[in-house]
Amino acid sequence: MADTATNQVGNSYGEANDSQEIAFDLGVFVGDLNFEEDVSSDDISLEGLQKELEECRNDDVVANILSKGTKLREYTKGVENNLRQVELDSIQDYIKESDNLVSLHDQIRDCDSILSQMETLLSGFQAEIGSISSDIKILQEKSMDMGLKLKNRKVAESKLAKFVEDIIVPPRMVDIIVDGEVNEEYMRTLEILSKKLKFVEVEPMVKTSKALKDVQPELEKLRQKAVSKVFEFIVQKLYALRKPKTNIQILQQSVLLKYKYVVSFLKEHGKEVYIEVRAAYIDTMNKVLSAHFRAYIQALEKLQLDIATSSDLIGVDTRSTSLFSRGREPLKNRSAVYALGERISILKEIDQPALIPHIAEASSTKYPYEVLFRSLHKLLMDTASSEYLFCDDFFGEENIFYEIFAGPFAVIDEHFNSILPNCFDAIGLMLMIRIIHQHQLVMSRRRIPCLDSYLDKVNISLWPRFKMVFDMHLNSLRNANMRALWEDDIHPHYVMRRYAEFTSSLIHLNVEYGDGQLELNLERLRMAIDDMVIKLAKTFSKTKLQTVFLINNYDMTIAILKEAGPEGGKIQLHFEELLKSNTAIFVEELLLEHFGDLIKFVKTRASEDPSSSSERPITVAEVEPLVKDFASRWKSAIELMHKDVITSFSNFLCGMEILRAALTQLLLYYTRLSDCIKRIPGGSALNKDLVSISSIMYEIRKYSRTF
């Protein structure tokens, strides 16, 4: 309440002061306007008065005073009186509230005393908390120090425990190594012993420890005992491989691979003994596999079917002198030296199992050498793949394979080197080349490189032999004795048939390979046969017989090349062109034989214009004998041509095509003759003797229907 009164008095006092201040200021200005009281003053200047009055006009207080018409001095006195009254009222309010103010003062003094005590207490607390904080910091440092010591002790304990575990030799391990049988438990114990041996050899801290002096002699004794024991064990297992009729692969997979850690142990801790084991295995497998392959090759040799000899060449006369034998081989004898026939099926049997000799021998079946070649190399691939993988797994070495297979390779090379120089079967050699290529692909798919160099070596040896045999065939054509080969027969010659079958076979075997060198050799062979067949044709006295002989041989060659498939290529196109050109020659010769005068007239005179003033114009008398001769015997002449064609050509379809071409050409000649007669003056008199074109067409269709 005292506060409220104080505020009111303050406010009133403030307002009064403000009013007094305003009144004072205005009184100064207004006093200047009182001319009656101070009219004689010389110090007062009225300059700017009007401007100041204008500025005070907008003041609210001044405007209010002026509106009431009150004088400023009276207004000032009123304000002073009000202020004095407010002051008196305020004093009375303070007097009324004096007790309360005294009580308030006492309360404030008590509060100051309490707060002073609390300050003293809190200061003590602060000092104690500072002391506790330092204690906590000390404890924290001690805790970190103890934690570090604990960690170091644990690390030391773990290392010491591992050291003790790695260096100690348990009695149980000693019993197993010395007296135990070599089994899975023995293998696990060997692994533990190996770790201990490596530990004492590798760890630098072990070499300075006193424990090593106690343990090392015992470990060395255990190592020697283990090496001796596993050596005897593994050698005993290896000797089992030498027993007859032992399935080597099963023994390797089911027995030896179970103990492959024994070899690893020897390799690490018994190097000298490992070398002995390695040498014993190499020696054993070398002898066993060499014996197996030698026996297999000897069994295969009994199944070999001889295909060709050095005299079985395209251009060599090998005809029998027997009374009942023909001078020619059968046209489609698929068992001939030069025909591929069913022999190509061997390329589809690449992945088939190898031959079992005693079964094949029991059935009295003989095979071309390429079948035996595939079977031998199939067995080699399977054996080599198995042995290569085993050596890599069991010994961890790939090179050991090549030492083992040095013997089998030598056995196969010895056999191959005895066969190859006596092989004159070019088709068989090319089949073997393709078989080797397929085997290389098989080994590549298996991702086993162990036979790469061997297969390359075989391939390199086959190509020169094939080239040599091929050149023998080529030279047999180039150096052929025409008198010995010639037969008074216009049908296909057996040499040409040999060439066609031989070429067709090689083209077929080159389809998927595109060997440019082989294509070049075939082109050389084609040029040689061209020369030879033309020489044979020239031995016939008549040109017509020469042409018929060539057509028969070319047609037969094309037919055989087509049987091999659409891969005849350039060679087939070449013979088709020769057949076409010789067919045209034969057609002309055949027509000249029966209609010579007519053809000569058409070629020399039919194109002349009878109405032109030439020295020797065409007359009816000149043409009439030709027309009447043709009309009298054209049908019989066509019949003779038909018989001639039937007897001349071995291929009926080819003969009919030639006859149709001849009759078509005859129709063209006769049509030109008829056109020429129409242009001759008086030629219409011969119309009765002219044979109608439709009649000739009918006859041509009649012969066309015969085939």
Long-range pairs of 219-222 with CB within 8 A, sequence gap ≥ 24: 219/169, 219/193, 222/169, 222/173, 222/174, 222/177, 222/178, 222/193
Reduce the DSSP state of residue 540 to 3 states and report it.
coil
In a domain, 555, yes or no: no
Report the C-alpha gap between 233 and 59 in whole angstroms: 131
| 376 shares its domain with 517 | yes
Q: Within a 13 Å sphere around the CA of 412, how many CA atoms are in the beta-carbon half?
A: 22
Report the C-alpha gap between 454 and 460 in whole angstroms: 10
Report the C-alpha gap between 508 and 320 in whole angstroms: 30
Long-range pairs of 526-533 with CB within 8 A, sequence gap ≥ 24: 526/571, 526/574, 528/474, 528/477, 528/478, 529/314, 529/477, 529/495, 529/496, 529/499, 530/578, 531/477, 531/478, 532/315, 532/477, 532/478, 532/480, 532/482, 532/495, 533/493, 533/495, 533/496
Contact 497, 326 (CB under 8 A): no
What one-letter code names the amino acid at 530?
D
Which two tokens mark 95? 């007097």
Reduce the DSSP state of residue 487 to 3 states and report it.
coil
In a domain, 268, yes or no: yes
Which one-letter DSSP state was computed for residue 705?
Answer: T
Which two tokens mark 595? 């209609």
Contact 289, 404 (CB under 8 A): yes
- Give the CA angle between residues 260, 264, 270 to the nearest 5°: 130
Which one-letter DSSP state was computed for residue 686?
Answer: G
Which one-letter DSSP state was computed for residue 170?
Answer: -
Which residue from 381, 329, 326 is spatially nearest to 351, judged by alpha carbons? 381
| 245 shares its domain with 207 | yes
Q: Which of 492, 523, 554 is the last residue of a domain?
A: 523
- The pLDDT of residue 456 is 95
In a domain, 398, yes or no: yes
| 149 shares its domain with 126 | yes
In a domain, 650, yes or no: yes
- The pLDDT of residue 22 is 39
pTM above 0.75, yes or no: no
Domain of residue 115 covers 74-167
In a domain, 245, yes or no: yes
**First-to-last CA distance in the chain?**
150
Name residues whose C-beta falls within 8 Å of residue 44's C-beta, 6 or more positions apart in sequence. Answer: 32, 38
In a domain, 531, yes or no: no
Report the C-alpha gap between 582 and 574 in whole angstroms: 13
| 150 shares its domain with 194 | no
Three-state SS for 2-34 is HHHHHHHHHHHHHHHHHHHHHHHHHHHHHHCCC
* Inter-CA distances, 307 with 122, 336, 422, 494, Å: 124, 8, 11, 18
- The pLDDT of residue 707 is 44
Name residue, tokens 């906590």: 136
Q: Which residues are bridge partners to 367 per DSSP?
A: 304
Which residue from 324, 292, 313 is spatially nearest to 528, judged by alpha carbons? 313
| 345 shares its domain with 239 | no
| 436 shares its domain with 295 | yes
| 260 shares its domain with 293 | no
- The pLDDT of residue 657 is 86
Contact 346, 435 (CB under 8 A): yes
Could you please report the per-residue DSSP string of 178-225? HH--SSHHHHHHHHHHHHHHHHHHH-HHHHT-THHHHHHHHHHHHHHH
In a domain, 467, yes or no: yes
| 380 shares its domain with 491 | yes
Which two tokens mark 648? 């001349």
Domain count, the chain: 4
Which residue from 465, 456, 419 is spatially nearest to 437, judged by alpha carbons? 456
| 282 shares its domain with 292 | no
| 266 shares its domain with 358 | no
Report the C-alpha gap between 370 and 382 in whole angstroms: 18
Could you please report the per-residue DSSP string of 75-93? HHHHHHHHHHHHHHHHHHH
In a domain, 176, yes or no: yes
Contact 412, 301 (CB under 8 A): no
Which one-letter DSSP state was computed for residue 35?
Answer: T
Could you please report the per-residue DSSP string of 329-380? --TT-TTSSS--GGGGGGGGGTTSPPP-HHHHHHTT--B-HHHHHHHHHHHH
Which two tokens mark 81? 């009186």
Q: Which residues are bridge partners to 304 per DSSP?
A: 367
| 183 shares its domain with 211 | yes
Q: Which of 491, 523, 555 is the last residue of a domain?
A: 523
| 133 shares its domain with 258 | no
Report the C-alpha gap between 293 and 411 in whole angstroms: 7
Reduce the DSSP state of residue 122 to 3 states and report it.
helix
For residue range 412-461, what is the model confidence (pLDDT) as tens digits?
999 999 999 999 999 999 999 999 999 999 999 999 999 999 999 999 99
Report the C-alpha gap between 550 and 538 in whole angstroms: 10
Mean pLDDT by 10 residues, the chain (707 residues): 43 42 40 43 62 72 67 77 88 85 87 90 86 88 88 78 67 82 83 77 64 73 84 85 82 84 84 89 92 94 87 76 38 58 89 88 86 95 93 87 94 94 92 95 94 95 95 92 83 90 90 85 93 91 90 91 72 91 90 86 72 65 84 87 86 84 87 83 78 84 65
Q: Which of 523, 554, 575 is the last residue of a domain?
A: 523
